[in-house]
Structure 1
Amino acid sequence: DLHTKIVRNIDELKGLFAEDVLTATGKSLKGFRSLDEKLSWILFIDGCSLLYFLAAVNADNPEDILNIKLDQLSLVTADVLLLENQLPYLVLKLLWENDNETELKESMENFVKFNHWGTAENETKSKDNTKNFLKCHNWATPDIKRIWGSVRSRIQGCFDQEEEQQHSVVISIPNSPTHLLDLQLKIILIESSSKTKGNKADNINQGHKSSEKNTRKNTRMMTYRNIQDLRKVGINLESSAAQGPIDIDFFEGWFAAKLILPEIVVDDTTASTFLNLIAYEMCPDFDTDYEISSFVSFMDSLIDHVEDVRILRSKGILLNCLGSDEEVAHLFNIISTDLMENIDTYPIVRDQIHEHYCNKYKTWIALGIHTYFDNPWTVIAFIAAFIALILTVVQTCFTIKQSK
């Protein structure tokens, strides 16, 4: 009996909830003999409902199984991932049909992988309208099954190579997620985190700079206002092949530079998705580096006006499904208010942007190119004037030679 499993483990399950939640639940025991009985039935019903929903969403025709429309299905999936609606993983494990934990994890993974804030190009061409509809609302991540299946081997490999490789990166993820939202956040960050930590290690060891200097660099004030400011000093934008929130890079050239940003889809669910993940990061008992908060804050530092959003769209970095570009700019300005940002999330990128922005020679050249050669007509006019000048010099020299 599934309910009996919950009853037998009720003490352990109660330990997963805050005391105020249990107190609020126990205020009204109408129809129940005790708090334990009420809580066991709540967890039993909610857990069975969630497992049924996961199975339906992973099927080929979830809208038919659940008898709801696609737009309603999208809203329900977003609601399932809300922080306040999370059920402990232990509840799902106890209620899973055959005690096969691997199948349960796969079911959760398959649900989560359709709920990220971007979509890989090959996936957007899918003929499956239902899954395509769900995917287009979120952020794309790498192949989930490949990640989960290789986590343990990658962790062990990092430990085995620790003495051989100076910058080994250990990717730590629990064998079992805390709940669905925890799994979503872990999957979003798992690929990016190894790269970021490796960059941090390289940044610390490169040149053996003093901690005082590193501290001073990491606490620099941002001198740019938005994307338009960056473009004026020769910093161009490019879409990243990777699509994690920490996959931000900066490449320096002789005069110009490239800021590589991950692709992101902005629609009606973007604000709630970001705010939900940010709320989870801010939980006092959750150990986090505030990666999502830092990403939102970084994007807000780039987006200030409508023109900034237009540039992101033109570069294939941002897909606007929300409406006007003004709404997108306003969205990032609003959700980034009072965020707890981790300045160590993009230490190298921030320093490189600052150094390029403050380099007078590079910025002067870039400003000249941006001012006088930003469109083909000015380039044509310059070439025509240059040719006319050369012809004038040649004609003058020829005239002088003839007069002699």
Structure 2
Amino acid sequence: MSEEVQLSTPTLVRTSMEDDDDTTTTATTTKSSAESPSDNIKIDIPPASSDSRRLHSRIIHRVSPHLRSDTNNRRMFDPVALSLGPYHHGKPDLRRAEALKDHMLHTFVSDSVAADETKDKRFFHNQILKCISEIRGHYDRAAVDSFDDESLSEIILRDACFVATCIADPFSLPDLIRTHLGNPMTVYATQDLLLLENQIPFWVVNRLLNLRFGEEEADAYICQHLSLLCLGSSRNLTRLPWKENDNDDEEQLHQHQPLHLLEAYRITLLQRESPNKLSTLTSTDSYSSRTYSIRTLYRYINLPFRSVTYLQRKGIYFGPSSTCYKDILFTSHWCYGMLRLPIDIISEHSKSFFCNLIAFEMSSSDDLAVTSYVNFMKSLLESPEDVKVLREKGILFSDLGSDKEVVEAFKEIRTYGIDDCDSFAYVKKQLDEHCNSRAKTWVAELIHNYFHSPWSAIALFAATFLLCLTFIQTYYTVKAAN
């Protein structure tokens, strides 16, 4: 009789030593218990370097096909004016921008040579060429296999210099685009910089800035750029958002550094001015940290959506919190509530920007903060009246033609039912409890109906005063007659 042997699923075991170079991965195939331990097969795989592990863990993903197939997202993910990186390089309708990138590369190198004669184009090209294997690892293999090291280094150098110049001198970009590509392309070129598939590894851009200006000045340029375009002022940031403290070494900084410019924007928009300011929103009442009945759980994660005007009728007022998309705070008082929302500006670029951030979170991020923020705002904005309230409170700003266009812009941003139930769970729960409180809502409706303007309040007090006078007059008339 033949002997039956059952092989269990291979198990991968990673053992870590103090030195990363000693890290080994062992694949062990275990047979049935009838066989001796000596029959186990062990294969030692050579350890990978830290750079190799990083490049395989951080990939600039392509947009998911089902996002592209959505007709609502037409032209949200493809560049119109210029290509950056290998994904869209060489497309006929983008070749006009190559002359612009050559001009900016020449300017970047000329200014560098003026400061240091050794830092010419060949110097920067060699800096890119030395890291070309790691750069390849950041892209889909099919997109970079057609380029040899020299040609890929040339593409990355030209495109990285373009991004570096946009960071160091953002005010000169519109004039250069207008000169080389025409006036209409100034809008699209800015939008193309923040497309998911149109990105250069940020550490490459940062290295070029460091070589050109020095680390301290390069960091100052990056802070100024992010402050200006994300926070609306060039003086907001004094330190890189991903630099936790000044004592971070190069390895720690590399781990926290954004993958590309789009992620740098995302990190900036999610950074709180005071880290402990809203700690209760993330540490208390998350549905995953408690035990609920299935009915309570369903109700908890499926709280009703309420618009701004509806919440106003329930006695809830609105105010700005900060520029951080995580800073949504609700405070309930005895007869009213205060909902504070992040300050944001909605423009022609907003739909493309949010669509690409959501695509990034879906592809490579465990944190769905931007997606959750968009879902929360979509639930609040149902009509132009809702936008008007937030605009008057200094929460939403827009350069679109009307409040209706702002509502439509948010409605057109698709999140495909993806959300983080823990995000703003405490806020949603508090809003639901406030709206379901009869005492609070009755007082709120009284104030909303009779005290919504000073004239109605004056009229109510005048009528009450006249009623009191009438009562007093009647009382003394009856008393005198007796």
Fold match (TM-score > 0.5): yes
Q: Is the 8 A contact 1:250 1:257 kept in 2?
A: yes
Which secondary structure state, in structure 2, belongs to the residue aligned with residue 319 of structure 1? Answer: strand
Give the AA of the match of 1:178: L
Aligned residue number for residue 191 of structure 2: 78
What is the CA distance between 1:343 and its match in structure 2?
Answer: 1.8
Give the AA of the match of 2:280: N
1 CA distance for matches of 2:157 and 2:207?
9
Aligned residue number for residue 166 of structure 1: none
1:229 paired with 2:310, answer yes
1:106 paired with 2:215, answer no
Deviations 1:337-368 (A, max 9, x none): 52522121112211110100111121122122
RMSD (Å) for aligned C-alpha atoms: 3.4
Q: Which has the higher mean CA deviation after the structures are superposed, 216-225 or 34-43?
A: 216-225
1:38 paired with 2:131, answer no
Alignment map for 1:143-154 (pairs within 5 Å)? 143-148=236-241, 151-152=244-245
What is the CA distance between 1:331 and its match in structure 2?
Answer: 0.9
Alignment map for 1:31-180 (pairs within 5 Å)? 35-57=148-170, 63=174, 68=179, 73=186, 75-93=188-206, 95-96=208-209, 97-98=211-212, 100-116=214-230, 119=232, 123=233, 143-148=236-241, 151-152=244-245, 174-180=255-261
Q: Is the alpha carbon distance of 1:175 and 1:150 closer, same or farther for their aligned partners in structure 2, counting shifts above 3 Å? A: closer
Q: Is the 8 A contact 1:303 1:309 kept in 2?
A: yes
- Within the candidate set 241, 259, 265, 2:345 is matched to 265
Larger helix fraction of residues: 1
Q: Is the 8 A contact 2:285 2:426 kept in 1?
A: no
Which secondary structure state, in structure 2, belongs to the residue aligned with residue 191 of structure 1? Answer: coil
Q: Is the alpha carbon distance of 1:329 and 1:289 closer, same or farther for their aligned partners in structure 2, counting shifts above 3 Å? A: same
What is the CA distance between 1:200 and its match in structure 2?
Answer: 4.2
Aligned residue number for residue 263 of structure 2: 182
Higher relative contact order (CA 8 A, sep 6+): 1
What is the CA distance between 1:75 and its match in structure 2?
Answer: 4.1
1:9 paired with 2:90, answer no
Q: Is the 8 A contact 1:296 1:336 kept in 2?
A: no
Q: Which has the higher mean CA deviation after the structures are superposed, 259-268 or 7-16?
A: 7-16
Q: Is the 8 A contact 1:112 1:180 kept in 2?
A: no
Query: How many equivalent pairs are there?
Result: 352
- Within the candidate set 402, 408, 411, 1:333 is matched to 411
1 CA distance for matches of 2:282 and 2:350?
32
What is the CA distance between 1:276 and its match in structure 2?
Answer: 2.1
Give the AA of the match of 1:234: G
Q: Which has the higher mean CA deviation after the structures are superposed, 176-185 or 334-343?
A: 334-343
Deviations 1:23-75 (A, max 9, x none): 5xx1xxxxxxx633332222222223333333332xx6555666659985554
Which secondary structure state, in structure 2, belongs to the residue aligned with residue 258 of structure 1? Answer: strand
Q: Larger Rg: 1 or 2?
A: 2
| Ranges in structure 2 where 5+ consecutive residues have no aligned partner | 1-121
Give the AA of the match of 1:342: D
Give the AA of the match of 1:115: L
Aligned residue number for residue 351 of structure 1: 429
Alignment map for 1:375-394 (pairs within 5 Å)? 375-394=453-472
Q: Is the 8 A contact 1:372 1:379 kept in 2?
A: yes
2 CA distance for matches of 1:154 and 1:356?
45
Deviations 1:245-276 (A, max 9, x none): 11111111111111111221112122222222
Identity over the aligned pairs, expressed in percent? 30
Deviations 1:171-229 (A, max 9, x none): x9944332212211112212269347722465259xxx943279738834333431111
